[in-house]
């Protein structure tokens, strides 16, 4: 696994042993970032359920202004810290462009929106029953009005989230195939 594009392209990323962390594949990340194009540049990014940090680090490599990683698994946090240090060295970036929060995403509270690009890659087992709740309690309060939210999920799911519209699906359908949906707040009917 590696960063697939941008200034830090080719930097290898460490992942914890076992199956507790499911890193995003290089192929899917490359497709997502090709779809986003220059929309990543200058963005404030949140990587929720960060794991190895592959989504946030890919965004940083491609010009994001800052990335905040949220992860609470101890083994994943150790790899995440190493991956962030490697990417920062490659990018010659200061530590102020990244922040690692060792916190359970389900307990996040935001006083005001702060992010215009959010990557949400929760454990697949929690998606079917909890995705709408995650959008209502965590994602919605964190996002600025024009924000895009990229959700990695199994290809057999097509969730409808009240107040959000799907802009694009990336990847193949199928139960065991990872895909991504790009969401944006549904502004139709609003002044």
Q: Is 3 a domain residue?
A: no
Which pLDDT score, from 0 to 100, does residue 63 have? 93
CATH code of the domain in which 136 resides: 3.40.50.150
Which pLDDT score, from 0 to 100, does residue 173 have? 75
137, 154 contact by CB (below 8 A) = no
The arithmetic mean of pLDDT across residues 162-186, rounded, is 87
* Residue 143: its H or E element: strand 143-154
Q: Is 142 a domain residue?
A: yes
State percent of the chain over pLDDT 70. Answer: 91
Which one is predicted more confidently, 89 or 150? 150
Q: Is 72 a domain residue?
A: yes
Cα–Cα distance list, 38 to 46, 62, 113 (Å): 17, 8, 22
Q: Is 84 a domain residue?
A: yes
Report residue 23 as tokens: 């890193």
Q: Is 12 a domain residue?
A: no
Mean pLDDT is lowest, of 19-28, 148-157, 164-173, 177-186, for: 19-28
Q: Is the pLDDT of residue 103 over 50?
A: yes
Q: Is 15 a domain residue?
A: no
Q: Is 165 a domain residue?
A: yes
180, 152 contact by CB (below 8 A) = yes
Compute the distance between CA of residue 59 and CA of residue 41 in angstroms, rounded to an integer.
8
Q: How many domains are contained in the chain?
A: 1
């Amino acid at each position: 696994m590696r960063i697939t594009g941008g200034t830090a392209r080719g930097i290898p990323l460490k992942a914890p042993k076992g199956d507790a962390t499911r890193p995003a594949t290089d192929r899917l990340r490359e497709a997502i970032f090709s779809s986003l194009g220059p929309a990543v540049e200058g963005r404030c990014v949140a990587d929720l359920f960060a794991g190895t940090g592959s989504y946030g680090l890919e965004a940083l490599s491609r010009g994001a202004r800052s990335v905040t990683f949220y992860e609470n698994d101890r083994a994943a946090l150790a790899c995440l810290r190493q991956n962030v240090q490697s990417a920062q060295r490659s990018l010659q970036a200061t530590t102020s462009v990244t922040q690692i929060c060792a916190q359970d995403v389900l307990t996040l509270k935001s006083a005001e929106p702060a992010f215009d690009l959010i990557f949400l890659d929760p454990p697949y087992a929690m998606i079917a029953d909890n995705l709408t709740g995650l959008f209502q309690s965590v994602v919605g309060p964190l996002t600025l009005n024009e924000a895009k939210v990229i959700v990695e999920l199994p290809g057999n799911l097509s969730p409808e989230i009240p107040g959000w519209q799907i802009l694009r699906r990336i990847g193949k359908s199928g139960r065991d195939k990872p895909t991504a949906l790009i969401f944006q707040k549904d502004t139709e009917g609003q002044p």
